[in-house]
Amino acid sequence: MELTDLDADHQLLELPGVSLVVFTSEECDSCRLARKILPSIVLPVIRLCWIDAERNAGLVSCYEVFYLPALFLVRDGFFMGPVQCRLLSDDLATAIGEALTRPAEELP
């Protein structure tokens, strides 16, 4: 699912379950790798939500994205925080599990 400055807040508030929000850029080699491998990894999320950082400066600012790719977790409309780890199946599953134990916050 692709999200933009115009629809991300509404979509993320309405989507049930766990969403992994991924900020990427076409110019970023690591981002291209993330776009290639993340859809094929079995993760404890219902969906991947992609945000093009170059075209959505408002979301980049709200989420305080400083590096790409940047991953964040949203569950049932609540912000569970960043997911910081290597783009490997086990590392991602562990980091997502840890993020789900954090207190939920309002979306940025």
Task: Tell me the three state secondary structure of residue 97.
Answer: helix
Per-residue pLDDT of 68-107, as tens digits, reads 999 999 999 999 999 999 999 999 999 999 999 999 999 9
Residue 28, in any domain of the structure? yes
Give the count of domains, the chain: 1
Residue 9 lies in a domain: yes
Domain limits for position 12: 2-100
42 in a structural domain: yes
Which CATH number characterizes residue 72's domain?
3.40.30.10
CA distance 3 to 26: 15
Q: What is the pTM of this model?
A: 0.95
Q: Is residue 105 part of a domain?
A: no
Residue 54 placed within a domain: yes
How many CB atoms lie under 10 A from the CB of residue 2? 12
Closest CA to 22 of 90, 41, 105: 41
Examine residue 106 and state whether it is found in any structural domain, yes or no. Answer: no
- Could you report the per-residue pLDDT of 4-54, keeping only the tens digit for each? 999 999 999 999 999 999 999 999 999 999 999 999 999 999 999 999 999
35 falls within a domain: yes
H or E element, residue 78: strand 78-83
The answer to the question of residue 108 being in a domain is: no
- Asked if 63 and 73 touch (Cβ cutoff 8 Å), the reply is no
Retrieve residue 92's tokens.
């991602």
